[in-house]
Structure 1
Amino acid sequence: MMPRTLLALSLLLLAAPAWAQQKVEITADKFTIEETKREAVFDGNVVVKHPTVTVWAPHVVAVYGEGGTNDIKSFEATGDVKLETKDQVATGERAVFTPADQLLRLTGNVVVTNSGGTVNSPELVVNLETNVSTFTSSSGGRVTGVFNSQ
């Protein structure tokens, strides 16, 4: 079991260049490697702690390609997902990170709160390479914000 655990942790460490040299701690009620699907699956009260962000979700799946830990395809957190940094909290129903394009997509009743206010949106896409965050709406929905005045 130890090599598989190391594989899953290696997947998470190598998924993004910013995480490669950082300590990442993952806890869950259950951890499964599905080698035929090339998935590392964490279930139940999943907490991913990184020095710059903590993620909570009921279910997290890391998908890797034929290259193993050098070929991460995606990470997906589903359920009531919460991402917290020192400056803000973001919640939604699904978060997907794809290392190939360095995009983090948070979808489903997205709420982002920081000291400047709150933004609600159906979807948030963060480009980690360019540091550009884009809130979008769909199906007639709207992006809304409430901002604190100083």
Structure 2
Amino acid sequence: MIKTFTVLLACQCLGELIAYAGNLPIPGAVIGLILLLASLSLRPGLSSAIESDSLALLRFLPLLFVPAGVGIMVFAGRVAHDLLPMALSVVVSTALTIVVTALVGQGLCALWPPRAAPLTTPFASALHADGNTAPAAAEIAKVDTP
């Protein structure tokens, strides 16, 4: 766990240092994530070393939303006053993010040929024996019959 924290914090601190020293308009945390991605790409053994601890840390991710919720409650009057512009900016930025993410994803998929074997992750469902991800007809029949 300490090795994982060290790697994650080192990437974030380096990102903050680069953003501060270069007077860049990009947040240091984003630069740190790019550095983490680069280090994971260059050293494949690193990903296996920090994977289990990183997945364990993801369980506590919702705690990071507590300060934002407290801030909204503290400034509830101002939020109510500026609700329409805030809601509009959230909707527009979300739609723009979805469009840009889809375009970047399509561009990246066009760059790399498909792999011979499917990529397995802890989040991916197991493939059936015939190679399809859809449930077999026999399994559907089991669910539909009482």
- Give your verdict on TM over 0.5: no
Scaled to the shorter chain, the TM-score interval is under 0.3
Give the structure with the larger strand fraction: 1
The structure with more radius of gyration: 2
In the superposition, the TM-score normalised over structure 2's length comes to 0.24
In the superposition, the TM-score normalised over structure 1's length comes to 0.23
Give the structure with the larger helix fraction: 2
